[in-house]
């Protein structure tokens, strides 16, 4: 039996903590109870002892100094791709099965400083490579809404932790849809921030020009609470931009549903039509609702959208082949005890036994795309098409305020169903990779139910660096539907 | 159209990627590579002459906006201790990472090296 959390959302819990109706220790105990009774394979490391200690300490701090931020005292989970000092960080890989980082990354430090309580490190597709969470050396994550279904990936454990009520929010990462897809399959919200908005320091790299830490939660307002804490400029990531910390929660609280009035929603032809019937039906309903709230539908043209998948897989695998070159079984991580005579052969053995099949496939392809004689035709070509796709979006934004798109063409599939067809796995990312390639902020919002009573939803893509505007639109949409508000 | 990648070339790629492919895995990885090639084939028809590649959006932004540019001071600062650095190493000898010999120097007792 799952214990029902007293408060459903992060923001509700914050208010309850502030009003001394509940303690962080009580919230933490409930989350831990739910985590321990879960059979969704959500966590790689559950941190019961330290979580209870942290919660007790934060309760003392709150009683002495009052509550300092929205996330103080709130139990949360972290994708096991973010390094945590003294706490094993695996990236879902045998390669890092015993790796204990000697320092904190930007994300874990930000929440440690804020007094959030880390419940555990969540399961993921190995190194973030996958969209179903079936490619973790620790096994697949089950969807808490229907255990026969995938949770989505690669931040599947993060989504499951919120859906099973063992955390109030999670920080996942999104390289080509890895936070938006699992949020969509588990009935949650996720924001992939603009590239450069959140520091990547201490985030184990998959594809450096695409990776972004991405909050996942029950409501858009909750996402805003999390974003306030992770948008401080960090000099330790050279691609982190000086955009100023987002102070957005009060703005959201002052909004009502009339904020949607007069907003222009860009809709690319054939995008909604390409989805399964149940998803299509709900997307059309969502559009009708936005129209009813006074938004205006505008047809836009994104002529190279279908090339996004090819562009994405060339760029992501190329960058991965470079990023993952550091795993050699010498400085840290898995070392094969084969009888190889040479240094090179020993490293090759460590990598061949340490990486899973999906990772090795991507490393081989990325190596090919970067190799002498093929670099121009593949990696450089993809980077040029990436520019063309980005320019298409900028042109489209001359006509609209934000772009409406599916997150996935279908609801969560059966565990094992997609895995048998690798091309289907890659096509899963069709609607999510464009925002990654162009660095645009994108918000995944649940709306309606499809087959097997599983959640459906849609995605809003914002103008460059307009993450705050996107959250405002998302929040007023939730206000207008009465879902998960306050 | 099915694109082909021969197994000899695949083994060269594996070597570059510091991976080994067992003989019984060759057909499987060959098929995967061919599927990947087919997936990315659609880019061929896109006209990209004179298009400047987009490698990293932030780097472009930083080039345009000097307030985002930050250079660390060239100063000595505390780092992680040697003990902490070596804690995760699979094999350590004399406070150094232990590796197989990188070169033969003709002495029988020097089969191990350190970096």
Window 41-60 of B: residues touching A by CB (8 A cutoff) are 41-43, 46, 48, 51-59
Residue A4: pLDDT above 90? no
The Cα–Cα gap between A366 and A480 comes to: 45
| Identified catalytic residue from A116, A131, A154, A308 | A154
Q: What averages of pLDDT result for each successive group of 10 residues across chain B (115 residues)?
A: 81 97 96 94 96 92 73 85 94 93 63 50
Question: Could you read off the pLDDT of A361-399 as tens digits, one per residue?
Answer: 999 999 999 999 999 999 999 999 999 999 999 999 999
Q: Which pTM value belongs to this model? A: 0.95
Question: Could you read off the pLDDT of A420-435 as tens digits, one per residue?
Answer: 677 777 888 999 999 9
Mutate to test the interface with B, among A194, A329, A363, A368 (most CBs of B within 10 A): A368
Residue A5: pLDDT above 70? no
Reference A463, options A387, A398, A389; nearest CA is A398
DSSP assignment, residue A84?
B
Length of chain A counted residue by residue: 486
Window 386-445 of A: residues touching B by CB (8 A cutoff) are 386-388, 390, 422-423, 426, 438-439
The Cα–Cα gap between A405 and A436 comes to: 14
The Cα–Cα gap between A249 and A224 comes to: 6
ipTM of the complex as predicted? 0.92
Order of all β-strands in the sheet with A455-461: A43-46, A117-122, A75-79, A169-174, A212-217, A189-192, A442-449, A455-461, A402-406, A264-268, A296-300
- φ, ψ of residue A452 to 5 degrees: the values are 55, 25
Is A79 catalytic? The answer is yes
Q: CB–CB of A449/A430 below 8 Å?
A: no
Question: Could you read off the pLDDT of A291-317 as tens digits, one per residue?
Answer: 999 999 999 999 999 999 999 999 999
Question: B60: Cβ–Cβ under 8 A, 6 or more apart, which residues?
Answer: B54
Show the CA angle centred on residue A117, arms to residues A457 and A202, nearest 5°: 75
Question: A426: Cβ–Cβ under 8 A, 6 or more apart, which residues?
Answer: A309, A313, B39
Q: Let me know if A97 is exposed, middle or buried by CB neighbors in 10 A (0-12, 13-18, 19+).
A: middle
Reference A3, options A166, A161, A153; nearest CA is A166
Strand partners, A215: A171
pLDDT of residue A485: 54
- φ, ψ of residue A325 to 5 degrees: the values are -65, -20
pLDDT of residue A486: 52
> Do β-strands A142-143 and A117-122 pair in parallel, antiparallel, or remain unpaired?
unpaired
3-state secondary structure of A393: helix
Reference B43, options A477, A384, A64, A324; nearest CA is A384
Is A476 catalytic? The answer is no
Residues of chain A contacting B16 with CB distance shorter than 8 Å = 367, 371
Determine if the peptide bond prior to A154 is cis (ω within 30°): yes
């Amino acid at each position: 039996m799952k214990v029902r959390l007293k408060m459903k959302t992060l923001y509700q819990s914050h208010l309850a903590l502030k009003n001394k109706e509940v303690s962080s220790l009580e919230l933490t105990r409930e989350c831990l109870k739910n985590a321990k009774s879960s059979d969704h394979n959500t966590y790689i490391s559950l941190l019961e002892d330290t979580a209870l200690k942290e919660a007790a300490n934060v309760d003392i701090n709150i009683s002495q100094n009052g509550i300092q931020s929205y996330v103080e005292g709130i139990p949360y989970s972290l994708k096991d791709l973010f390094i945590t000092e003294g706490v094993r960080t695996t990236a879902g890989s045998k390669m890092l099965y015993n790796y204990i980082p000697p320092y904190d990354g930007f994300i874990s430090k930000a929440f440690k400083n804020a007094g959030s309580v880390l419940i555990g490190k969540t399961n993921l597709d190995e190194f973030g490579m996958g969209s179903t969470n079936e490619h973790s050396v620790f096994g697949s994550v089950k969807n808490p809404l229907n255990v026969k279904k995938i949770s989505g990936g690669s931040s599947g454990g993060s989504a499951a932790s919120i859906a099973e009520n063992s955390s109030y929010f999670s920080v996942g990462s999104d390289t080509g849809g890895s936070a938006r897809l699992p949020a969509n399959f588990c009935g949650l919200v996720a924001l992939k921030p603009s590239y450069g908005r959140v520091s990547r320091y201490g985030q184990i790299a998959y594809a450096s020009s695409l990776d972004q830490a991405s909050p996942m939660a029950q409501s858009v307002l909750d996402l805003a609470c999390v974003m306030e804490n992770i948008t401080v400029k960090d000099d330790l990531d050279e691609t982190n931009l000086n955009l100023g910390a987002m102070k957005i929660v009060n703005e959201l609280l002052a909004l009502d549903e009339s904020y949607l009035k007069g907003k222009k929603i860009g809709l690319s032809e054939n995008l909604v039509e390409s989805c399964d019937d149940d998803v299509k039906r709900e997307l059309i309903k969502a559009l009708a609702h936005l129209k009813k709230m006074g938004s205006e539908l505008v047809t836009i043209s994104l002529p190279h959208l279908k090339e996004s998948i090819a562009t994405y897989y060339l760029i992501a695998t190329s960058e991965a082949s470079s990023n993952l070159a550091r795993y050699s079984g010498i400085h840290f991580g898995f070392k094969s005890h084969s009888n190889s005579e040479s240094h090179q052969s020993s490293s090759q053995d460590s990598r061949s036994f340490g990486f899973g099949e999906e990772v090795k496939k991507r490393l081989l392809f990325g190596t090919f795309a970067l190799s002498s004689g093929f670099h121009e035709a593949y990696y450089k070509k993809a980077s040029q098409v990436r520019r063309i796709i980005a320019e298409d979006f900028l042109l489209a934004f001359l006509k609209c305020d934000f772009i409406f798109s599916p997150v996935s063409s279908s609801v969560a599939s059966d565990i094992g169903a997609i895995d048998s067809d690798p091309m289907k796995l890659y096509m899963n990312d069709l609607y999510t990779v464009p925002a990654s390639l162009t660095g645009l902020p994108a918000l995944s919002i649940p709306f309606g139910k499809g087959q097997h009573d599983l959640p459906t939803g849609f995605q809003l893509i914002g103008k460059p660096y307009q993450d705050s505007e996107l959250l405002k639109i998302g929040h007023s949409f939730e206000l207008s539907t009465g879902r998960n508000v306050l | 159209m099915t694109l082909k990648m021969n197994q000899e070339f695949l083994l060269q790629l594996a070597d570059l990627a510091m991976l080994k492919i067992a003989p019984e895995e060759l057909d499987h990885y060959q098929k995967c590579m061919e599927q990947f090639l087919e997936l990315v084939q659609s880019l061929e028809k896109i006209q990209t002459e004179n298009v400047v590649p987009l490698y990293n959006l932030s780097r472009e932004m930083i080039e345009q906006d000097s307030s985002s540019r930050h250079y660390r001071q060239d100063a000595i600062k505390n780092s992680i201790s040697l003990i902490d650095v070596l804690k995760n190493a699979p094999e350590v000898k004399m406070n150094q990472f232990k590796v197989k010999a990188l070169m033969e120097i003709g002495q029988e007792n020097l089969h191990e090296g350190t970096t």
